[in-house]
Structure 1
Amino acid sequence: MTGSKIRRSMPLFPIGPVMQLTDLTARQIRYYEEHQLISPARTDGNRRMFSLNDIDKLLEIKDLIDQGVNIAGIKQLFSISNQGPETLSKNKKTERRLSNDEIRRHLRKEIVQAGRFNLPSMNQVNMNRFFH
């Protein structure tokens, strides 16, 4: 791990400042932890301590919730991103690796377009259960 990655993963922030930075309540943050979307470190006194990576993830969760994705959908998106870059075959000769952000953008675009035109998306059967 590089120095920057190590610094971003260091648990430095108690829940109070994290609430201010993310505009989330303590209850929401604990709820996301219960659903294993985040895993803050704990002090010897069992106090949660958050890293910059945890804060980034909370902001991402908040954005997804605002877009209408529920907890199950967020878990699905996070599991895709934790598997590493996905491979997309454009044709038999050319393969391109997609970044996690590209995967999320593609999925969101498909979901938005399907809803906008009232058309079933190619993943509608699998994706409907992830939305409110």
Structure 2
Amino acid sequence: MARRDEDDKSKPLYMISVAAELTGMHPQTLRVYEQKGLVTPGRSRGNTRLYSQGDIERLNLISKLTDEGINLAGVVRILDMRERAMERDKEIDRLRRRVRELEDEVHELRMREKITALARYDGAGPEQVMRGLLSNGKGRGV
């Protein structure tokens, strides 16, 4: 779901005139910001700038920061730190999911060990043991 939201935010939608209106900036300011690498709008086949919702949000943040008196060098630094923090958050989320998967695997292996320790093989195969546990285990506290 989060991936789809990211895709939606990065979809190029708005021509420069619309982006300028949405952000309250002059189109020339948007061109300067692109030139300085603060924003990278997509391009149509005809080479028209197309700004995504993510670009609009980024431009609004740039506007807020500059309104607070931060120069463009500071804005670049803040945006870089913000992007790095967001990447780290994504990595942390990915690692947490992996830890949960591994915890589930460990739990399953421990359960199999317990079942194996309780089962008497007596020459039976694993399928027979499982059938025996399922049918006889009800009265044995398993």
Which TM-score band (shorter chain)?
Answer: 0.5 to 0.7
Identity between Structure 1 and Structure 2 (%): 31
The structural deviation recorded for 1:70 is 0.6
Root-mean-square deviation (Å): 2.0
**Distance in structure 2 (CA, Å) of the matches to 1:45 and 1:66:** 34
2:10 aligns with 9
Residue 5 of structure 1, CA deviation: 1.5
Cα deviation, residue 65, structure 1 = 0.6
Is residue 2:64 matched to residue 1:63? yes
| Bigger strand share | 1
TM-score if structure 2 supplies the norm length? Answer: 0.58
CA distance 1:69–1:42, change in 2 (3 Å): same
Is 2:50 the counterpart of 1:49?
A: yes
After superposing on structure 2, the runs of 4+ consecutive aligned residues of structure 1 that deviate more than 4 Å are: none
Amino acid at match of 2:37: Q
Aligned residue type for 2:41: P
Distance 1:85 1:63 in 2: 19
Secondary structure in 2 matching 1:45? coil
CA distance in 2, matches of 1:77, 1:30: 20
Q: Which of structures 1 and 2 has the bigger CA Rg?
A: 2
Question: In the TM superposition, what are the counterparts of 1:66-105 in structure 2 within 5 Å?
Answer: 66-84=67-85
TM-score (norm 1): 0.62
Once the two structures are superposed, residues 76-120 of structure 1 have per-residue CA deviations (whole angstroms, 9 ceiling, x without a partner) of 101111222599xxxxxxxxx9xxxxxxxxxxxxxxxxxxxxxxx
Secondary structure of 1:36's aligned partner = coil
**Residues of 1 paired with 2:24 and 2:63: CA distance?**
9
Say which structure is richer in helix: 2
Unmatched segments (≥5 aa) in structure 1: 88-96, 98-132
Segments of structure 2 that go 5 or more residues without pairing to the other structure are 93-142
Aligned residues: 88
